Amino acid sequence: MSAFGAVSSLFRLARAGFVMAREGALRLVDPIDLPPAARTLVGLGRLIERRSARDGAEGLARALQRLGPSYVKLGQFLATRPDVVGIQTARDLERLQDQVDPFPQELAEAAIAEALAAPLSSRFTHLGPPVAAASIAQVHRATVSDAFGERVVAVKVLRPGVTHRFGRDLKAFFRIARLIERFAPKTRRLKPVVVVETLARSVAIEMDLRLEAAALSEIAENTAADPGFRVPAVDWERTARGVLTMEWIDGVKLSDRAALAAAGHDLPALGRHVMQTFLRHAMRDGFFHADMHPGNLFVDAAGGLVAVDFGITGRLGMKERRFLAEILHGFIVRDYRRIAEVHFEAGYVPPEQSVDEFARALRAIGEPIHSRTADQISMAKLLTLLFEVTELFQMQTRPELLMLQKTMVVVEGVARSLDPKLDMWATAAPVVREWLERNLGPIGIAENAVDELRQLARGIAAGPELLLRLERISVDLEEVVHGGLSYSEDSIQAIVGGVRRAAFWSNLALVVLALGVVVYLFR
């Protein structure tokens, strides 16, 4: 880095530190574990706090808002990591919203033409003013005319210079994370640098709009047979790294409860539909919209739910899906022992911990639920309490599960805004039961067996080719030796021994695989 770049970076860090101190964010710092120099800096920073500063979490949210879009994005990301910032701070950061003015129309038109490598008029018959603006991109309403006729589309375009600005600020975030790890040793288990690396990957994905288009396409395939749900169709011809063109959605935002009621929509039914749709995507497909706030959900004229803005998505593997299904089912039927066993089977809780003690801790969470009416029970809050308890048993941090939990908080809030008396557990039960019957019942067991046999067959089929390769290596080595190259006797013996050992273990592996197939087929 140049001297100018280093000075500029230090200036940005100093400005960020001043704003944090001024808004009272330093109240979150425990100076006890800091070295003397850092304690002195925190003490000085507390001297310039606003008199109105009362709460560190609120102060942090205000400071991030003042520092600009990159810092707002950082705060939104940290809201998904209560294990790092604490539950109360995460809740305060959830309220952070991108409040950014749109950039000028002429810049948007130039950016679209550059991204598509074509004049704007050759792709669109009309491009209207921006209808929504955020820190990374803004959306325009436009019209296109092609072989399919004239239609209205939504055009999402990246902000000019956003990649450079976020890259610059991410460098500052990395420096802050390294300083935190250096001067606050107790934070190292939370891996601040890794947290920033994860944020950097997330932002990089958001800044390639082709990846959001791919997410839309994948969700569309997954939900093609689902009644009452869809996503906008992607116009791939008018989509590139910096531009995403998709179907324009006419509908009522889920945040407009009065308009939904005026249009004659069944609000309690919509609430159930939102919750079940999210669970179905997470559990059945393992791929879900991770930003399902009311502004990203519409109801069309037919009463169907339409989701937009797939810049943030979550993905769950089969192990995580089974984990989610079994713990939800366990709480529904009050089988706390089984919930505990699922944690251990998934490898989330260290094996030296006690299953019985863990089951008792889970009972302390689950039993109060059954003394309340259905509308008082929060599934998202239960998952939050679950993750709090698992910390006592040294459960490893699972970012994908935290993303799921935070999304469930939002979805549950949306569902309850439509029907305050919604029974979350009765709503979730059919989806959970369907997944368990499908994947842990006879059909799922048979499919798993077929997959295992297929893998065994591939391993056996590859065996002869592996042996041929080893034989060729042995022959080549022999020719090289006879060709007159200088090798010591020890080197030759070591090479020959290595080849023989490889051949031995390869043959042994084939025998084991073959025996495994025989035992599996005739047990």
| Cα–Cα distance for residue pair 199/187, rounded to 1 Å | 18
Closest among 213, 405, 240, 203 to 309, alpha carbons compared = 213
The strand ranges marked E within 178-259 are 229-230, 243-247, 252-253
Instruction: Please provide the DSSP assignment of 157-197 as one string.
Output: EEPTTHHHHHHHHHHHHHHHHHHHHHH-GGGGGG-HHHHHH
Torsion of CA 49, 52, 57, 61, to 10 degrees: -90
Q: Which two tokens stand for residue 220?
A: 């569309």
510 DSSP 8-state letter: H
3-state SS track over 36-95: HHHHHHHHHHHHCCCCCCCCHHHHHHHHHHHHCHHHHHHHHHHCCCHHHHCHHHHHHHCC
> Do 450 and 403 touch, CB atoms closer than 8 A?
no
The H or E element spanning position 140 is: strand 137-146
| Cα–Cα distance for residue pair 182/450, rounded to 1 Å | 51
How many angstroms separate the Cα of 477 from the Cα of each of 42, 297, 485, 486? Answer: 66, 65, 11, 12
Instruction: Please provide the DSSP assignment of 301-364 as one string.
Output: TTS-EEE---SSEEE--HHHHHHHHHHHHHHHHT-HHHHHHHHHHTT-S-TTS-HHHHHHHHHH
Question: End-to-end alpha-carbon separation of the chain, Å?
Answer: 65
HSE (CB half, 13 Å, CA atoms) of 30? Answer: 7
| Cα–Cα distance for residue pair 94/75, rounded to 1 Å | 8
Closest among 350, 289, 353 to 315, alpha carbons compared = 289
Which residues, in sequence order, are CB contacts of 257 under 8 Å at separation 6+? 267, 417, 418
Longest alpha-carbon distance in the chain: 92
| Cα–Cα distance for residue pair 276/273, rounded to 1 Å | 5
| Cα–Cα distance for residue pair 19/506, rounded to 1 Å | 63
> Do 377 and 422 touch, CB atoms closer than 8 A?
no
| Cα–Cα distance for residue pair 166/73, rounded to 1 Å | 10
Confirm whether 490 is a catalytic residue: no
- Go through the chain and tell me how many residues it has: 523
| Cα–Cα distance for residue pair 12/422, rounded to 1 Å | 48
132 DSSP 8-state letter: E
Q: Annotated catalytic residue: which of 291, 309, 335, 419?
A: 291
The residues that are catalytic are: 291
